[in-house]
Structure 1
């Protein structure tokens, strides 16, 4: 079988549109030709250090223009980018580095303390890299094989050690193409990259950047005021967010609205409360709900603008190259029947690094069993309910934490909410809530509010107020951390 060969996409982009603005970082725009030249120089430096084709190389970096250069330079070298979460502990990072057998680790100077030097692994800081003399010439990869592994990203996992998701060049290409077929491409498009580049939501923006020839505005981290300013002043047309980010942007926006050029708030990271979607609708903010994961190289289901109001709350239909079904006990579910979300497409991972057991368990006949629960309506629109592992079964009834969280967040005093199940002698499990409030409110008031909007078995047994809720680098709520708080006895009986 002939493997599809794809031109080195940054090199190709620099050839096609050399003078087009590529990336704005720290207030400065860089063209695709300038980006290519800097990446070529960095690839020569990597050659001096001994980085070679098929090496698995860890990147421990914060969002920066230099991280962008490193990502592409490793691709020029034919090495595999292993994207490391800079918010992990030293022990968590070391486990992943050992698991993937990394040959080199490149890190920001400020993050060097998170990495202990390991035997047979070279740790190179940014300062050390800049002082490296570039090789006179290095052989850069001219074509990417579509089935070659481009990146490895470790999933956070709900239990045990995380798994390294293998993403091929073909996966990233088809992810970008599928998104373009759904959202369309406009000549003036600019994408705000404020989510972490080591996460698939951020990394996919880098891929779209060179594949589309679209400018991106890069921020080191998310700040609602700066994100809103980028939409207005930098003419950003598309932003990737999760619910908590969107909530902060709406709060900061106040009574103002976004300019007409803004055309897409791409919302992922789990089911969004309808109250937030309705608020966006009233302010004429175009929200595109999406569903995706590391294993699908970003989104695989997106609600197109055609149905943004009619199907409020739905994640939409699969992207054009992809397929979607709901299965329960290995059988296809009927419309509105809950089951496991199963997906298929050229953007779906080929498996997990060094975990054949997990690969065989998750991928069957090219279908990825996601572990998420949802249903399709009678027109084929997906509604995501929750992670299967987060499902609460109370007295035989299924209780979805996301539904309760949505109700709690619809209260004007609640900024964030997280719900988990706790053991109950009578019902087996009952929901328990954690909230972050923006003004004074009692537990009793919130429970009464829930009683007016939820069935009795869905009303939390108790509510605990916190200053912050645990989240991962992409701002997804970490319910397992909430469960740990309960296990430590930090809740009201």
Structure 2
């Protein structure tokens, strides 16, 4: 058993600032008091200790407080991605069997019709019911559930436990170090593992979070220049925007700014050189939803010597290459206390581990110095602005259109987003491309929409009739 993070942090450093948003600041004591009040209000509305509930809202303090309230109640939080279509959200709600959705008022229209839900405003106006909040949490308790797209085209609900999150945060702090006045800028969505893990670190480390609802590059760059923050998580596309803004303003990062963690795919060498010139320390990372954030990180001092590497595993983590070829290349496998114990819903019976190791599906190698190099992300995965897109998911939608006989999707390079999906379809009856695009808009999140739909006579397949996505662009 380990302490309730929120109670323990409020006890240890009650007057230390825990959250800043849009000029307003909350201490850890205030966050605890507010979240306990919300927990009592949620109880009035029928939510019980240990319930599995879905939660959705923009990255604002109201969402943070609601998440902490659910954590006080030891609820399993299904983190709903605000960018998904109603059809995608409906799948996750059905698969997770969440008893209700706790949702920000401004997001309620994103829900499928007839969905049982409680608005933030309704909760905040409810009466309070006395509750007995657990002072300790078991390590195996599921805290969060995040859906990650699968190679089958059906997203999997990944469980992350108290133990997973604690191990991830502990490994990270052993790598980065810790000071009481550290402050983490959070401009990544809280429903992503990258965002939620920042909240976990805040509670465990006692550091302030500077929260942003949108990626405001001017304000964020100002924070970095002024030394208002010490750490930040980015993907390549957001890093480039910061670099461009600093360069345009002839500005450099403050000496107080310590580290920018870059995930969601490799960082171009040019970005690293530009960051170095701006006194901006960048550490490339490798991780996934199943590993509760980062598994390996490349130290800033190694960035130029080990260009293209994701670094070495963090302290408690292990990485090995399964069935390597003559060049040492094979599937990346991960072991450690940060790895998920498994999935929920239709994938509940799928074993997450094989002999204790998570088989990622990513291809890579470890060089003679022990540095990991990721060659291919889950075979056909498209990484667009840090978002993972599986071709099979888009293909499944295209194949439900009555005029589409076959569909194949791959990623193409894009200057802004790194990659974007492009679709190839074989028709069984005449239809306008615009009609297929309109059909997809009803079923897919905007970032999953194919940038282009190309009509073709046939798709490349092997002898077993398996689609060869790598040859689509040929």
Could you say which TM-score interval applies, normalised by the shorter chain?
0.7 to 0.9
How many residues are aligned here? 410
Report the CA distance shift for 1:380/1:355 in structure 2 as closer, same or farther (over 3 A).
Answer: farther
Q: Does 1:342 find its partner at 2:336? A: no
Where structure 1 has 5 or more consecutive residues not aligned to the other structure, the ranges are: 392-400, 406-417, 421-428, 439-475
Report the CA distance shift for 1:166/1:432 in structure 2 as closer, same or farther (over 3 A).
Answer: closer
Q: Does 1:155 find its partner at 2:155? A: no
Report the CA distance shift for 1:117/1:372 in structure 2 as closer, same or farther (over 3 A).
Answer: same
Q: Does 1:132 find its partner at 2:126? A: yes
**In structure 2, distance between residues paired with 1:488 and 1:251:** 38
Matched residue, 2:314: 319
**In structure 2, distance between residues paired with 1:223 and 1:333:** 45
Q: Which structure is higher in RCO with an 8 Å CA cutoff and minimum separation 6?
A: 2
Q: Does 1:381 find its partner at 2:377? A: no
Shift of 1:433: 3.9
**TM-score calculated relative to the size of structure 1:** 0.78
Matched residue, 2:210: 217
**TM-score calculated relative to the size of structure 2:** 0.81
Of residues 73, 97, 103, the one that matches 2:99 is 103
Shift of 1:108: 1.2
The answer to which of 242-251 and 181-190 deviates more is 181-190
**In structure 1, distance between residues paired with 2:363 and 2:329:** 7
Report the CA distance shift for 1:305/1:436 in structure 2 as closer, same or farther (over 3 A).
Answer: closer
Report the CA distance shift for 1:370/1:477 in structure 2 as closer, same or farther (over 3 A).
Answer: farther
* Contact 1:158–1:389 (CA under 8 A) maintained in structure 2: no
Q: Does 1:236 find its partner at 2:215? A: no
Report the CA distance shift for 1:215/1:492 in structure 2 as closer, same or farther (over 3 A).
Answer: closer
Report the CA distance shift for 1:134/1:263 in structure 2 as closer, same or farther (over 3 A).
Answer: same
Of residues 334, 347, 371, the one that matches 2:361 is 371
**In structure 2, distance between residues paired with 1:317 and 1:477:** 35
SS of the residue 1:291 aligns to: strand
The answer to which of 348-357 and 158-167 deviates more is 348-357
- 1:20-48, CA deviations, whole angstroms, 9 ceiling, x for partnerless residues? 11000121111001111001100110110
Shift of 1:160: 1.6
SS of the residue 1:315 aligns to: strand
The root-mean-square deviation of aligned C-alpha atoms, in Å, is 2.8
* Contact 1:340–1:374 (CA under 8 A) maintained in structure 2: yes
**In structure 2, distance between residues paired with 1:168 and 1:367:** 17
Shift of 1:435: 3.4
Shift of 1:53: 1.8
Q: Does 1:43 find its partner at 2:34? A: no
1:183-332 equivalence runs, <5 A: 183-233=176-226, 235-254=228-247, 255-327=250-322, 331-332=323-324
Of residues 59, 68, 80, the one that matches 1:84 is 80
* Contact 2:50–2:75 (CA under 8 A) maintained in structure 1: yes
Of residues 133, 142, 164, the one that matches 1:171 is 164
**In structure 2, distance between residues paired with 1:357 and 1:13:** 33
* Contact 1:341–1:374 (CA under 8 A) maintained in structure 2: yes
1:422-461 equivalence runs, <5 A: 433-436=412-415
SS of the residue 1:316 aligns to: strand
